[in-house]
Amino acid sequence: MTVRIDNCFETLKLTNKKALITFLTAGDPNYDLSLELIKSLPEAGADIIEIGMPFSDPMADGPAIQASSLRAINSGHKMEKTFEMIESFRKDNSHTPIILMGYFNPIYNYGVDSFIKKIIDIEVDGVIVVDLPPEEDNELCNAIESADLSFIRLVTPTTNADRLNKILQKTSGFLYYVSIAGITGSKRPEINEVETAVQEIKTKTNIPIGVGFGIRTKEDIERVGSFADGVIVGSVLVDIIKNNEHESSVKDKIMKKVREFASAV
């Protein structure tokens, strides 16, 4: 529901805080651990949870998230299991917004109508589909919005003013500003340039702006949090899974990182 995301940003605003938005891939490295991680995120300080729907060919993602998709797929993960995870999460948590992020083919394959029906059922709040630009709104975006879910748009350094205006007309929840021209987890953003871009967008909209792609340190988060409404981290967390896949400490290490990041927003 759009309202859960709106409430989240409004509540944070009251205490002058920004949203920490964390990304993990569903089923990475396996179902049980993945579910445990996602359930632990809010307590560690994640305000909004992005859950990646694994796809074999994630063309906008860097090696970290690509590998996490493959780990999940190889562990036997399926779309239905992503839904089960969310159902299980919602049993204990009714306030943290959940955003599903991924690519269109697994959704198209599942069936757009069934997908929407299902995510309403299990109380997902929004979706990000990387390979559905505004030109392809008829595929999913329009139906998502009619269902009062958020279709979260990406704006990038290559988005010109014309496109930005079009995108802003059909954005709900928050706007995802992609801080680099590049893929997830690759080069570090020039934060001054990101600030200029975000300030520019803010003159045109009141919708909250989250910034992500390439943000890896507490320092970056502090700086981005000083002008954006939310900071999105993914690859840096997923890398911890990759490096500690077979260790029992993986959950502690991720939650420690999330706590550190949460203290910076």
Partner 1 sequence: MDKLNSYKLGPDQNGRFGIFGGRFVAETLMPLILDLEKSYQQAKKDDSFQSELAYLNKYYTGRPSPLYFAERLTDYLKTAKIYFKRDELNHTGSHKINNCLGQILLAKRMGKTRIIAETGAGQHGVAVATVSARFGLPCVIYMGAKDIERQKPNVFRMKLLGAEVVPVRSGNATLKDAMNEALRDWVANVNDTFYIIGTVAGPHPYPEMVRDFQSIIGKETKEQILDQEGRLPDQLIACIGGGSNAMGLFYPFLDDISVKITGIEAGGMGLQGEKHCASLTAGRPGVLHGNRTYLLQDDEGQIIEGHSISAGLDYPGIGPEHAWLKESGRVEYFAITDSEAVEAFKICTKTEGIIPALEPSHAIAHLINIAPNLSKNDLVVMNLCGRGDKDIFTIAEHLNMEI
- Active-site residue numbers? 50, 61
What is the distance between the alpha carbons of residues 126 and 2, in angstroms, rounded to a whole number?
7
Region of 44-52, 153-161, 188-196, 204-212 interacting with partner 1 (CB under 8 A): 153-161
When the beta carbons of 60 and 143 are compared against partner 1, the nearer one is: 60
Q: Is the peptide bond before 58 cis (omega within 30 degrees of 0)?
A: no
Beta carbon nearer to partner 1, 12 or 64: 64
For the packed helices 250-262 and 31-44, what is the interaxial angle rounded to 10 degrees? 30
Under the criterion CB under 8 A, does residue 165 sit at the interface with partner 1? no
Residues whose CB is less than 8 angstroms from the CB of residue 184 and which lie 6 or more positions away in sequence, other chains included = 60, 61, 62, 64, 65, 212, 213, 214, 234, 235
Interacting positions 214-233 with partner 1 (CB under 8 A): none
CB of 153 to partner 1, least distance (A): 8
Considering only 32, 57, 121, 245, the residue that binds partner 1 (CB under 8 A) is 57
Q: Does 155 bind partner 1 (CB under 8 A)?
A: yes
Task: Indicate whether 16 belongs to the interface with partner 1 (CB under 8 A).
Answer: no
Residue 249 interacts with partner 1 (CB under 8 A): yes or no = no
- In the chain, what's the furthest Cα-to-Cα distance? 50
Instruction: Count the neighbouring beta carbons within 10 Å of the beta carbon of residue 228.
Output: 28
Closest among 238, 94, 232 to 155, alpha carbons compared: 232
Say whether residue 75 binds partner 1 (CB under 8 A): no
51 vs 124: CA distance, rounded Å: 10
DSSP secondary structure string for all residues of 94-154: SSS-EEEEE-HHHHHHH-HHHHHHHHHHTT--EEEETT--GGGTTTTHHHHHHTT-EEPPE
Closer to partner 1 by Cβ: residue 60 or 120: 60
Q: Annotate each residue in 126-145 with x if it binds partner 1 (CB under 8 A) or - if it does not, as one string.
A: ----xxxxxxx---------
Among 17, 90, 163, 218, interactor with partner 1 by CB under 8 A: 163
Shortest Å, Cβ 217 to partner 1: 20
**Span between the terminal Cα atoms of the chain, in Å:** 24
Separation CA 5–CA 54 (nearest Å): 23
Binding-site member from 2, 75, 156, 244 for partner 1 (CB under 8 A)? 156
User: Smallest distance, Å, CB 161 to partner 1?
Assistant: 11
C-alpha to C-alpha distance for 111 and 90, rounded to whole angstroms: 23
Smallest gap from Cβ 176 to partner 1, in A, equals 9
- Asked if 70 and 43 count as a contact pair (C-beta separation under 8 A), the reply is no
Choose, by CB under 8 A, the member of 9, 31, 55, 83 that binds partner 1: 55
- Binder of partner 1 out of 13, 95, 187, 256 (CB under 8 A): 187
The residues of the shown chain that bind partner 1, judged by CB under 8 A, are 54-60, 62-63, 66-67, 70, 73, 78-79, 103-110, 130-136, 153-160, 163, 167, 178, 180-183, 186-187
